[in-house]
Structures are given as structure tokens and as C-alpha cells.
Structure 1
Amino acid sequence: MVRMEQPHRWLTPFLLWLLTLILWLPGLGNLPLRDWDEGLVANVARSTTGLLPMKWKHSYLNKPPGLHWPMGQLIRTQGKQENVVRLLPALISSLAIPLIFLLRRTLGAKGCERSALLSGLVLMTLLPMARHGRLAMLDGTLVSCTLLLWWGWVNSQTNHGQAFAAGLACSGILLLKPPAILGFGLIVLVASGRTLRPTGRRLCALVLGLLPGVSWHVWHWIVRGDKALLMWGGQGLARITTKVGDGFGWWIPWVEILEGGWPWLLLFPSGISWIWTHRQQTVGRWQLSLLLGSALMVLPLRTQLPWYSHLLWPPISLVCAEGLRELLERGQPRWVPQSWRAIGCLLTILGCVAIFDKTLTIPNLSLVCAGLGLLAGGHGLQNNARRHRAQGLVILLIGWGLALLTLWQSRLWLWELNESWDPRPIAAEIKKLPVNAEVLVEGPIRPSLSWYADRELSRFYQKSSPDDRHWVVSNRHIPDCHLANRPVKGEWQLWQCD
């Protein structure tokens, strides 16, 4: 491990964080909240005025209020615009970039400063990391808490006070997704090995940081009784053995990794080779433990959703950063920049075709920026001179960064919305109805529709429809009902039923 004594040891992680904000925050509010999680999180945040999580006027038992409560405070003071709802999760998620830098630098080994910088740059420019980090969801915040836990514990070997930061990170995890603390704690035990040494001061600092999270769960159990255990069992550990809700199959995390790991995923084999060579050292043992431990936490889950793989990106970034450092220093493996050039050529051609063919609804400018960055950057990284390889990496990063910035402005970055309908026009019509009007939704409930309509909506069942006057949101004609307003854009309309 390396203990940095330079007066400017915090400058690089701070600059990395500022660069992350520049790259992640633009266009934060240019699309409506998506379902499920954004609409659900926003509704819970607005309903939670105290430390007991609520959804509308009902107890919310799925998750603690670690992120919902501060989000609710911000919404009540600054308004319910999309950029306000997403701002706090995005800010906390962005802290993962300086934290992974600090973690890798603390792990040490030759060239650790460069590996730390590359780890931050790789994690910052991964599309899934940036995209999910911008959303009003818990997963990005969970990643930041996880990295704080790992960095705090590694650093506590020489600075016992850092164990307090690790304890605070554990409290954060307990207030976000409680069962995850078991897996992350086990990873720390395995990675620490013989260096665990739970000395008195170190243990006291850790316990002190754990107090907020543990205290809340004890208080929650006192107030709500056995119902408080749902977030540990039915909404937590049960996902390991059973399918909960609308989860998908085992292949989802593999698809997410293959889809979202570009362009850095090609460096994964050489990174693994470097880590395996250094497996007897602290840096190799920790990186292997983080990668395998995170994979064992995600891959075996019977309930799989695309954002569960979010936990895999930090250890993958650490591995790919080692491969990238080898490429910069030795120019190997040469097939990686050659592949980047080929991919860049294809993306540039596809983007140019999309610019002239208006029928293609793809982010053409993003493809052109990414393609040119890979093409020119890959060419530079093939050079025999180290200085030219470094310049090639800078060009690649600029092109990929511009691709992300243009993607946020293309209104296609939240592609789940392309599979459903914009709830805002119908929500505006629902808000015109009396406060006590009964509004139902045919098909799956849309939490975002409830959010924009400012009222809790129930599901409509044809065989058990209410006898009194009610309104139904549907994409088909409802018998004995008529349109309640002028048709809104899209197939889904608001029907009045007497």
C-alpha cells in the first residue's frame, strides 16, 4: 500500500470528480422519469417526510429511506422537476470516480498512481455507469458507498480513523439495500486476509460509523414489528433463491456486461493476466477478491434486473485499467487498438449514414464522435513511442466523452422510454379532474404516471370495474366509456366511465 504525503494528494481525485460532473450532469432533466424505479423512488421520496419510509399514505417496507428522505427534502424545497429529482442520486453516484481512484492508489504496487487515474477514467466513461448514475435510483449511490467501504478499510491499516469512514459506508449500505452488507462484508474479510487485525481503536471506529445504520433498523423493527423484516427477507435475500416481481433470467448481467463494457472490455484479458501475476501482493489479492466477490453477489441471483449488474463495474474498471496501463507502457496487446480502429471505422460510417437517413432513429452524432475517437485514438495507441500512445488515449477519451455528452442531448439516452408511452400528457389531463375522482390504469401500473398526476392510481380490472363514475387510462376503447378530453398524443387515452 502507498501512503501519499504530498500536499496535493487530493487534487487529482477532486479534478476527476469535477470532470465527472461535467460529463454526467448535462441534460439531466430532458426526459420524464422512467418506470419502474425512477417513478417509484420519486413517489416514495415525496411521501417520506420523516425517517419512516412511506408511499403515498401507506408504509413502504421494501427499502430504508437512506436516499428517499434527502431526495424528498430537496423536492419539497426546489420543486418536482426531473433535474431536481435526479440531482442528488447523480451527485452521490459521481463520487464513485474519485473513490475508485483513492482505492487503487491505496492498494499500491509499482505505477499505482497511473493505474488509479486510469481506473477513474475507465469507470467515468462507461455508458452504464454514467447512465444509471444519472437516474433517480439507488444503485449508483450503493456503488459509491461500497467503494467508500473498501477504501476506508484498506486505508485503516495505517490510519485507524479511516475505519470510521468504512463504518459510515456500512451505515449507508444498511440504509439503501440492507442485505447487501452481508456480501460486501464477506468480500472485505476475504480480501483482507492476514491483514485484517481488528485492533481496539480500529474496531471502535468501525462500530461508531455503523451506529446510524444499525440504530435505524432496530428502531424500525420496534415501530413496525415483523413487517420491518420484509426488506431483509422478501425484498432482499429472497432474490437469491426465488424470482421476485418482474425479474428476468440469469443471462441479464452477462448481456449488460457485453453491451455496456465498451470500449474498455477488450482490455479485460490483459488486466486479469496482470492481476493474477500479482495475486500474492495486496493489490492483486484485493482486486481478485472484489471481482470474484461482486460476481458471486450478482450472477447467482434468481431475480435479475439490468441495473443489478451495476455493482460489477468498479471491479471490472480496476481490471481494465491494469490492461490499459500495460498498453500505454509496453504497447501490448496490439490487437486491442487495432480492434478499436476497426470498430471506430464502423461506428463513423453508421453515424454518417444515420445523419443523412432520417428514418434511422439512432444517436448519429454520438456514433460519429465515438467512432472518430476510437479510430484516431486507436491509431495513436498503436504507435511505438510511449508519448504518442498517451496522446492516442487522450484523443480516444475526448471522442468517447463527446459521444456521451451528445447522447444526453439526443433524447435517446433513456431508451426504456422508447418501449412505453410518455405519461405527462395524460397526467396533465388527470390533474384537471376533481381531487376525489377515481382514476384507474389498465395494464401495469405506471408509478411515473402517479408522480406526474399527483395522485395514487389503482389498476383497472374489466370484470370488477367500479359502479360509480370513474376514469380509465387505456390504449383501447373501454365499453360504455367515452374520451374524457381531446385525444392526447400517443395511443394511450383517458376514458370517462359512468
Structure 2
Amino acid sequence: MLPALRDTLDRLPETRWPRLWLTLLCLALWLPGFFTLPPGDRDESRFAQASRQMVDSGDYVRIRLGQEERNKKPAGIYWAQAASVQAVEALGLGHRGEIWPYRLPSLLGAWLAVLATFHWGRVLVGRRAAFLAAALLASSVVLVVETHIAKTDAALLATVAAAMGLLGRAYLAPPTFTAAQAAGFWAVLGVSILLKGPIGPLVALLAGVTLAAADRGAPWLRRLRPLWGLPLMLAVAAPWFVAIGIATEGRFFSESVGGDMLAKVSAGEEAHGGPPGYYLLLFPLTAFPAAFLALRALPAAWRDRLNPGTRFLLAWAAPSWLMFEAVATKLPHYVLPAFPAVMLLGAAWAMDPLRRPAPRWLAALGMGLLVVVAAALGIAAALLPWFADHRPDPVALLALPAAGLLVWGTLAALRRRGIAQAGLAAALLAVPLYAVVLGGVLPRLTAPWIGPRLAELLAEAAPSGEVQGQFGIVGYHEPSLVFATGADTTLLRDGAAAAGFLAGAPGRIVAVSDRDKAAFFAALEQRALAVRSLGTVEGYNYTRGRRLTLHVFQGAT
């Protein structure tokens, strides 16, 4: 390994400006693709479109997607996205039709989570270990992906990391925990409720109950001032909940609690199910490249469970992880609120000069999984343009040496500098791999980005925007299409409905999938309607796993 890199690995945890260096690492890891990746399906486009309609309408209470109410999540993330869009437009940096302004709250939330992990982790595991843990969290695949998606989870992580950091301080040093810190704890949980309902408070509650049971008491609980803290938490969130209850006549609560939350608990919603152990099996990927270090630390963390800092981190991570494993609906990012604790446990073991080595089989498993996941990412990125667009891409081939560099650098640091430096090397060397995949490969694909390409075709047909309210589509109803073409897009049931839409007014435009084309032309013939072709858009609907062709027609004017 180069001497300069060796010196960097040794000095970074002791730097005079740790937050600055962590910020620069976050930017290097997260900015590739942030501005250039088109809007994704389905959640990102749903959130972004609902926030866009909130800005357009000026109604910051009700949440709507197209013409329908979106009674699933509270308004916190929509407010944050609306504010970021308005700020971007006020500064002249972009406009509400672009996706990246809606991603800014995710980027900011992830950054705050990393800084919170370092700030409060210093009390739990020490400065050097907290720096390493924050770097590992920043480089984890799941958080890198979440920074590129305009939805709740990265922002939620910021509130969880801050609240749990404050709870950890109350647990370790109750006499010095101030009323202002207690107020911060409850206020942050209130913000967490506005972002994603009960998830943040549940993480804190499970940790508190676990600690109280393990310690046979909770002397720290009084220092949290729950008598006025709980009302403060509710007061932060209550005004909007009251307003949305009135505005929707109670529909928000029946649909969000009964139709969304309980459905996820009892059944795999939208086919997102998985067996118990799902998150453990995915951990080598979601925590990549840090998983090899975190896995080695598990036996030592359990042996050290009587240490107050370790005890708190185990109480943070373990019950929350089990809760997410028990829920029927499973998505890789659900377990993200436990990641700061997992990274702090791993970093504490790695930085301990008296640490007991991990079992050989566990160390070999961790390194083997690092190699396998790096190779899988590199090979998948290299082959993706061929499978998606049926073309080779020289840029995509760079993913293979980038993955090889990460593995080589991590192994070299492990042999020569130790496990802690290997973890930091992995975090730093993840930068070129993510840059290739997120900044070079995915934005250059064409097949998955059907909505933006269709919007470009419509812009050529109606450059002044008169297509708004006059465009319908059958066979492709993904949210990214609505974000790209506008909330007035009419989603049609079948080919006959598309013909009827054209007959409704002269000059209307429809897009018809290849599956509905025959029925569309049959209906045109019955109605004696004349149309002209504006072109076709071919692509791959990755949410349904099939290719499709959209034929675009305009009725006679």
C-alpha cells in the first residue's frame, strides 16, 4: 500500500477537523449520480410527485398523488422536499420538474446521521472508533442508495441517530444529562413521527425496555423527564395530525394505520415479503464494504455486554433488528435505524488494542463475503448495459478494476496495518466503485428510464407545453411517468379507452403499449378516427420485469 495512504489511515481518526473530513467523504461517496439519475419507481417518484403537487397547490396539509389522496406517511418528508424545491428555485439552481431537488432532504439526513454517529459515538466508544464507525456508515451500500432516493428513510435515520445518541448519554451519565438534552430527545422523536410515524419512538422504546430488563431498573429514565417530554413529543407532531384528520374526515388514519402499517406487519405488501433472517442474509450487501468488520466484532460485543457503552449499543441494535425481522413486509432499508449501533460496535472492537481475535471461520467468512459482493457489484455493473440496452459500455467495464481495487486495498491494509485501517481503507476505496456504478453506468442506460424519454418525445410534439391535460397512456402507469409528464396525465384502462380519450377533443395525444395496440386500432376503426404517429419509446419496466414498447399517436386537429 502506498505510504501516503498508510499515513492517511493512521491520521484520519485523530484529525483536527473530523466533521469536515467525514463531510468530504460523504460527498465523494454520494454525489456521483445524485444529479443525473432519473426518477426511480416506485416510491421515489410517488414521494416527489406528491411534494411537487403540494408546492403547486399551496396545500401543505393534504397529500395527493395525481387525483388521489396519498394517506400513507405523515407530511414531514413532503414538507422537507417542498422546502428544498422552493429554495432551489429561489436560488435559480433548478426547478421542480427535476428530481434532484427532492433528493436533498435524503442527502442532508444521511449527512446528519453520519455526524450524529460520530458526535454521540465518542461518548460510547471513543473518538477514534466513532470516526471509523461514521465512515463505515457513510460508505454502506444501503445508505449510499438511500441518499439517491427522494423518500423518508435517510431523514428518518438522522432523527434516530440523534435521539439514540441522547438516550445513550442519559444512560451512561444520568447526573449530567440536562433538561435541554431531554427536550432535544423528545423533540427529535416528534420530528421522527412526522417523518415515518412510530418507527423512531419504537427504536428508542425497545432499547429502553431492553436496558431496563437487563439492568433490573432504569435510574436514567427520570433524567429524560418523561412527564413533560412525552407531551412535548406529541406537541411537535399533533398539529398536523389534527389538521389532516379534519381535512380528510379521518380517512388518513384509517388508511395509513389500517391499510398501510398493519398490512405491512401482517402480510408482505406489494410482494415485498421475506423469511426470518432476511436482513441477516442481506447484511453482506447492505453493509458492504463494512460487513467484514462488523461480523468479526459480534462475538466480542456479546462478551463485552457488561460494559455500559456496549450494553447500550446492543440494546439499540438487537431488539430493533428482531422487530424488523418479525414484520412480514421486508425491504433492505427497513433495518437501517440499527446500522449506526452495528457500526459503532464493529469500530469499538477494531480500535481496541486488547481485542480478542475473531474466530478464524468468522474472519474467513467476512473476507470471503467482501470479495463475493465486490465481484458481484463489479460484474453486474459491467454487464448491465448489455442486458438493459443490448450494447456494451466501456465506462461500465471500469467497475471491474474499481471492485478489484477495493478488495486489494482492504486486504493489503488488513495485512499491514490491522483491522481498523482495513475498515477505513474499504470506506475510502468504495468511492471509485460507487462513482462508476451510480455516476457512470446507471445514468447512461436508456431502457429503464421510460418516463423521461416519453416526456422528451411529448416536448418535441408540443414544445410550448400545450399537451398538459391532453395526454393519456395505456399499458404503463408507473409513478415516474406521472412525475415526468405531469399530474394531469390521464391513465387509461385499455386500448378502447385510449381511442375514446382521443375522441374527446381534437389534438389529444395517447401512448399505447404494444399489448393494447390491436384493441386501440380496432376502436379507432369503429369510431372512424384518424391519427398520426409521433414515434415510439422502447424500454424495460423493471418494477414488473418485462420489456414494452409505447406507440405515441395524436388525434386529428
Shorter chain as normaliser: what TM range?
0.7 to 0.9
- For residues 77-226 of structure 1, the aligned pairs below 5 Å read 77=89, 78-80=94-96, 81-108=98-125, 112-156=126-170, 157=174, 158-160=176-178, 161-181=180-200, 183-193=202-212, 194-199=218-223, 201=225, 203-205=227-229, 207-226=231-250
**1-structure distance, mates of 2:272, 2:369:** 36
Q: Secondary structure at the match of 2:161?
A: helix
Report the equivalent of 1:399.
429
**1-structure distance, mates of 2:293, 2:303:** 16
Q: Secondary structure at the match of 2:341?
A: helix
Relative distance call for 1:450 and 1:351 in structure 2 (3 A) is closer
Deviations 1:428-468 (A, max 9, x none): 3345364332513315x211111111234454333862634
**2-structure distance, mates of 1:328, 1:82:** 49
Report the equivalent of 1:54.
63
Pick aligned residue for 1:452 from 484, 488, 494: 484
Superposed displacement of residue 377, structure 1: 3.1
More deviation in 128-137 or 99-108? 99-108
Superposed displacement of residue 341, structure 1: 8.8
Unaligned runs of 5+ in 2: 1-13, 213-217, 503-508, 525-530, 540-547
Q: Secondary structure at the match of 2:35?
A: coil
Relative distance call for 1:42 and 1:465 in structure 2 (3 A) is same
One-letter code of the match for 2:208? L
**2-structure distance, mates of 1:301, 1:250:** 10
- Tell me the percent identity: 21
Q: Does structure 2 retain, via aligned residues, the 8 Å contact 1:53–1:64?
A: no
Relative distance call for 1:141 and 1:352 in structure 2 (3 A) is closer
Relative distance call for 1:214 and 1:285 in structure 2 (3 A) is farther
Relative distance call for 1:377 and 1:79 in structure 2 (3 A) is same
Pick aligned residue for 1:237 from 253, 259, 262: 262
Q: Does structure 1 retain, via aligned residues, the 8 Å contact 2:381–2:399?
A: no
Superposed displacement of residue 106, structure 1: 2.4
Pick aligned residue for 1:426 from 421, 440, 454: 454
Q: Does structure 1 retain, via aligned residues, the 8 Å contact 2:39–2:99?
A: yes
Report the equivalent of 1:496.
553
Report the equivalent of 1:485.
534
Report the equivalent of 1:3.
none
More deviation in 24-33 or 339-348? 339-348
Q: Secondary structure at the match of 1:308?
A: helix
TM-score (norm 2): 0.75
Q: Does structure 2 retain, via aligned residues, the 8 Å contact 1:337–1:378?
A: no
Report the equivalent of 2:309.
283
- Structure number with higher relative contact order (C-alpha < 8 Å, ≥ 6 residues apart): 2
Superposed displacement of residue 330, structure 1: 6.9
Aligned CA-pair RMSD: 3.7
More deviation in 198-207 or 400-409? 198-207
Report the equivalent of 1:249.
274
Q: Secondary structure at the match of 1:195?
A: coil
- For residues 360-371 of structure 1, the aligned pairs below 5 Å read 363-371=396-404
How many residues are matched? 482
Q: Does structure 2 retain, via aligned residues, the 8 Å contact 1:348–1:369?
A: no
Q: Does structure 2 retain, via aligned residues, the 8 Å contact 1:475–1:493?
A: yes
Deviations 1:285-341 (A, max 9, x none): 222222222212311222223332433433332333234335897776677489749
Superposed displacement of residue 21, structure 1: 2.5
Superposed displacement of residue 283, structure 1: 1.5
Q: Does structure 2 retain, via aligned residues, the 8 Å contact 1:178–1:231?
A: no
Report the equivalent of 2:322.
296
More deviation in 334-343 or 404-413? 334-343
**1-structure distance, mates of 2:169, 2:280:** 32
Superposed displacement of residue 234, structure 1: 1.7
Pick aligned residue for 1:471 from 510, 513, 535: 510
Superposed displacement of residue 10, structure 1: 9.7
Q: Does structure 1 retain, via aligned residues, the 8 Å contact 2:117–2:161?
A: yes
Report the equivalent of 2:6.
none
One-letter code of the match for 1:247? H
More deviation in 164-173 or 188-197? 188-197
Report the equivalent of 1:412.
442
**2-structure distance, mates of 1:233, 1:137:** 21
**2-structure distance, mates of 1:222, 1:32:** 36
1:39 partnered with 2:45: yes
Deviations 1:134-190 (A, max 9, x none): 211111111111111111222343232112221122112211111324522422422
Deviations 1:398-444 (A, max 9, x none): 32222223333223389xx888443112123345364332513315x
Relative distance call for 1:35 and 1:139 in structure 2 (3 A) is same
One-letter code of the match for 2:497? S
One-letter code of the match for 1:79? H
Relative distance call for 1:203 and 1:69 in structure 2 (3 A) is same
More deviation in 168-177 or 180-189? 180-189
**1-structure distance, mates of 2:210, 2:128:** 22
Report the equivalent of 1:72.
82
**2-structure distance, mates of 1:227, 1:306:** 29
**2-structure distance, mates of 1:82, 1:187:** 36
One-letter code of the match for 2:513? S
One-letter code of the match for 2:535? R
1:379 partnered with 2:412: yes
Q: Does structure 1 retain, via aligned residues, the 8 Å contact 2:294–2:342?
A: yes
Q: Secondary structure at the match of 1:268?
A: helix
Q: Secondary structure at the match of 1:67?
A: helix
Unaligned runs of 5+ in 1: 1-7
Q: Does structure 2 retain, via aligned residues, the 8 Å contact 1:257–1:309?
A: no
Q: Does structure 1 retain, via aligned residues, the 8 Å contact 2:160–2:200?
A: no
Relative distance call for 1:472 and 1:184 in structure 2 (3 A) is same
Q: Does structure 1 retain, via aligned residues, the 8 Å contact 2:177–2:223?
A: no
One-letter code of the match for 1:231? S
**2-structure distance, mates of 1:405, 1:269:** 26
